[in-house]
Structure formats: C-alpha cells, structure tokens
Structure 1
C-alpha cells in the first residue's frame, strides 16, 4: 500500500542516518578513551553526545521495527487461533500501542516546550541547547505515532475491502515460514516492503 511504502522509505532513511550517527559517536568514544589512556587528554563531551544519539536513534528505530513486524510478542496461543480472532488481537495490540505512544509523545512535546520556554542548556562544558536533541527525539516519537495510525487505518481499510489475509501481513506476527526464511535469507526479507501478505498466507 502506498502510505505504508512511503512510511517505509522515511523510516529506512532514518535508520541509515541513525546508524551513521551511532558509528560516529562510537568512534568519538574510542578516540576519547585512547587519548585519556595514553595522553591524559580528553575530547570532552563524547559521552554527552553519545547519550543524545542513543535517545534519538532509539526513537527513530521504533517505526521501522513496527513496519517489519519485529517487535516481540507472545504468540503461544495466538498462532492456534482462527484468523478473525488473530486480526482482532492485532488491532487491539496496535490500538494499545498507539495510546501508549500517544501519551509518550505528548509528554515528549511538553519536555521540548519547557526547554524552549526556559532556554535550557546542558549543565556540561558543551552547553548544548536542549531543544536541539529533544526536537529530533520528539520527531522520532511523532513519526512512530503516525506510523501506528497509518497502519491501523490501512488495516481497517483492508477489512472493509474484505481482504483480511493482508491484514496479517501488515500488523500480524511473523509466521514460522517467514522466520525460517529470514534466518536463511535475511537480505530478501529486509527488501520486502511492509504490507505484503505473509508467506504462509500467500
């Protein structure tokens, strides 16, 4: 589906940028440790920057994890239930996640607004204006919330069009066949766009 594909592209771009930022921050930490060990000198702020990066990258990693249906869920009973009940459970789980992330995003927004209102800066030598990392952090959660809403809307649209099998491929749990295929051919599973039917249902 087009909206899901667009979200997938944005999320994919986000994790690439996040991966680069993690690599850079890790390099800074390594360089800082070497300088401290052998020269008694520190870059200063490497740990602070890595903390910002970790928080921001984590927020931006949630959407792609959801789009690829990689969040851990207990499926001992789920897999033995009829498709209709599985769909109801999937919609319920997605709704609960949406409510939780909605509350989290709201509070993230409040934190950002407070930082802007009070012109907050970090109590460190870098004195980073807090609105800068918090804006990127908030944007990650906001995009995650948008992703949940779009997936819910697309799932309901598929149900209205009487295409329940595709709902499982959009918000359901990976089938055993998919998990086996992902272990054997991880590159092919990574290339699959969200919203496709599961291998079992096909």
Structure 2
C-alpha cells in the first residue's frame, strides 16, 4: 500500500508537470492536477502509515525512556504502540462516518471532474483502517512477547530503533547488496 500511495503521488506530479507544459506552450488547459493531487496526498499519507509501524519508524521523543531499565522502557514502548492503535481507531471511525455521510448525501467534488467524494474518502479510510489493524497486531505481538518474558523480542517489535540499531541495519543492508555474508 505504501508503494501504491507513493506511485499515486508520482503520477500526480507527472500530471501537474503536463498541465504546466500545456499552459506554457498554450496547447491546452487542464485543471485536474490540484484535485487529484489532494486525493493522492491523502492516500499516500494514510496508505504508508502501516508500513511505518512495521518498520518502527514512528517518531517518539524518548530521551528519558532510553535511560530507564529495560522492563519499564518496554512497557512505555508498548504503551506508545497501543496509543497508535487507539488513535488509528478513532481516526478510522471518524473517517468512516464521513464516507457514510458522503454516500447518504451523494456528495460530489465541486470541480470539473465532479468525483463522488465517497470514492477518495473510502480509499483514505481504507489506509487508516489498515494502519489501525497493523498497529493492533503489532501491539498484540509485543504484548505476547512481554508476557512470555522475551524482552528482546518485545523491544524489537515495539521500540523505536536506536542509533546503534540503525547503524547495524545499514551495515547488514550494505553487506547484503555487496553479496557479503555477515
């Protein structure tokens, strides 16, 4: 989904470039890039949220948490991950309400395209729902690991990567690309 969202952004960027060229050479005048761009931006954002959870790329200010002992730190990490799931659920619920209202009203965009608003809103909501499900799944995985007293696994799932983790990952990726074994 993250790649599809990124592809949508790239497609809209190309469309906007085409619009600019058409205007510059006075060949024609299309004005759909702005509308499609706003839809693509919403999709690109929400469809990549789940990927960020899987890659542990969510931003946290954890200067103090890094100083705590391992168990309290993983409890805070688990709280942060579960908070993402709760926020996702609230956002998904609100987005679904918006989609159902647009469907009920038959709302359309106020542009030359006249797109039924429920279509981009439903795709946006799908991204939020997927993010929520992934965050819930990761929370459950981390909680199971914590209950099994596998602190390392719980941390691998829920914690933001440290600078050392990121360096190790970069070295492993470089070695992988060069065909070296670790």
- Is the structural similarity TM-score above 0.5? yes
Structure 2 unpaired stretches of 5+: 177-182
1:39 corresponds, among 19, 22, 26, to: 26
Q: Per the alignment, do residues 49 and 119 of structure 1 end up closer, same or farther by CA in structure 2, a change over 3 Å counting?
A: same
How far did residue 153 of structure 1 move? 0.9
How far did residue 188 of structure 1 move? 7.5
Instruction: Give, in whole Å, the separation in 1 of the partners of 2:50 and 2:175.
Output: 20
Instruction: Name the structure 2 match of 1:104.
Output: 91
Instruction: Name the structure 2 match of 1:197.
Output: none
2:134 corresponds, among 121, 137, 147, to: 147
Instruction: Give, in whole Å, the separation in 1 of the partners of 2:15 and 2:54.
Output: 31
What is the TM-score normalised by the length of structure 2?
0.90
Instruction: Give, in whole Å, the separation in 2 of the partners of 1:184 and 1:38.
Output: 49
Instruction: Give, in whole Å, the separation in 2 of the partners of 1:47 and 1:182.
Output: 38
What is the TM-score normalised by the length of structure 1?
0.81
Q: Per the alignment, do residues 188 and 81 of structure 1 end up closer, same or farther by CA in structure 2, a change over 3 Å counting?
A: farther
Instruction: Name the structure 1 match of 2:61.
Output: 74
How far did residue 183 of structure 1 move? 4.9
Instruction: Give, in whole Å, the separation in 1 of the partners of 2:140 and 2:131.
Output: 14
Q: Give the secondary structure class of the aligned counterpart of 2:25.
A: helix
How far did residue 186 of structure 1 move? 5.5
Q: Per the alignment, do residues 187 and 114 of structure 1 end up closer, same or farther by CA in structure 2, a change over 3 Å counting?
A: farther
Alpha-carbon contact 1:59-1:141 (below 8 Å) kept: yes
Q: Which moved more, 1:142-151 or 1:154-163?
A: 154-163
Instruction: Name the structure 1 match of 2:179.
Output: none
- 1:45-194 correspondence to structure 2 within 5 Å: 45-183=32-170
Q: Deviations over 1:140-165 (max 9, x none)?
A: 00001101111111111112222111
Following TM superposition, the consecutive aligned residue runs of length 4 or more in structure 1 with deviations greater than 4 angstroms are 182-189
Instruction: Give, in whole Å, the separation in 1 of the partners of 2:86 and 2:53.
Output: 15
How far did residue 20 of structure 1 move? 1.7
Structure 1 unpaired stretches of 5+: 1-13, 190-202
Q: Give the secondary structure class of the aligned counterpart of 1:102.
A: helix
Instruction: Give, in whole Å, the separation in 1 of the partners of 2:113 and 2:13.
Output: 18
The number of equivalent residue pairs is: 176
Q: Deviations over 1:43-76 (max 9, x none)?
A: 2211100110110110011110111111111121
